[in-house]
Structure 1
């Protein structure tokens, strides 16, 4: 499973679409809606951090 961290950037779902075309199982979470502990429980094979955010203050766990 591929975990995508969404930094509130409109390009995120372009990436999700492309990974989906490659046959990836994808789960998307906004950067302030998931914790490190939750990520560990999901045990993703890969993690992709989307473009954005505006400033480091908005980066959440990214």
Structure 2
């Protein structure tokens, strides 16, 4: 579907995007279930005109490992401690967010 339709992956969908394009999914440093976090972002595409930082709800125990991301994916959002909260494909209209909007 990538390249034929725009894709937005949320939570597990975000992790799937990371893995499909070559990233590694690992246990998060600590599980975050039903808690809010401050999220920072790059201000591009889906984050255009979104407050920076903003507060979002998280519910996950896995995450995309930052160091494993291939060059085709860029980090678009992150927590204050650097955990990946958003990824974007550099050529296709494919984005993922780990948090729940």
More strand by share: 2
TM, length-normalised to structure 1: 0.36
Q: Could you say which structure has the larger radius of gyration?
A: 2
Q: What TM-score does the superposition give when structure 2 sets the normalisation length?
A: 0.25
Flag the structure with more relative contact order, 1 or 2, with Cα contacts below 8 A and sequence separation at least 6. 1
